[in-house]
Amino acid sequence: MSSVEIEIVAYIAKDPEVKYTTTGAKVLEFSLPHENRKEETEWYNCAIWGEKRVDALGWLKKGMGVFVRGELVITAKDGKIYRNVNVDKMQVIGGGKQEDDSVPF
């Protein structure tokens, strides 16, 4: 058995969007850009699952700084790489401090 986790510290690139899966599950999606050593921008497409969490994060906005930990799911299509993160933990840390910016994880 083994464990793999990714940890990202970055700014939210644009306002998060609430989406629904075909089975009706609610998910909050946002992207985190990261400039790698080659000065290319990698995009991490983050998803927060669970209706309670999604509803509690209505204040999450573009430009906020976050620490995110989760499971990285990679896919490739036509030579392009897609990086998806199922978020297990998130801590907001800047760019729009709230009265209560706690995240219900």
Among 17, 59, 94, 104, binds its own copies (CB under 8 A): 94
Q: Which two tokens stand for residue 46?
A: 């983050």
Stretch of 16-24, 52-60, 80-88 contacting its own copies, by CB under 8 A: 80-88
The pairing of beta strand 26-35 with beta strand 17-20 = antiparallel
Instruction: Give the span between the Cα atoms of 9 and 22, in whole angstroms.
Output: 31
- Does residue 21 bind its own copies (CB under 8 A)? no
- Does residue 91 bind its own copies (CB under 8 A)? yes
Among 17, 25, 58, 67, binds its own copies (CB under 8 A): 67
- Does residue 31 bind its own copies (CB under 8 A)? no
Give the chain's length.
Answer: 105
* 80-94: strand order across its sheet: 17-20, 26-35, 41-49, 80-94, 65-77
Residues that bind its own copies (CB under 8 A): 1-11, 32-37, 42, 44, 64-67, 71-76, 79-81, 83, 89, 91-95, 97, 100-102
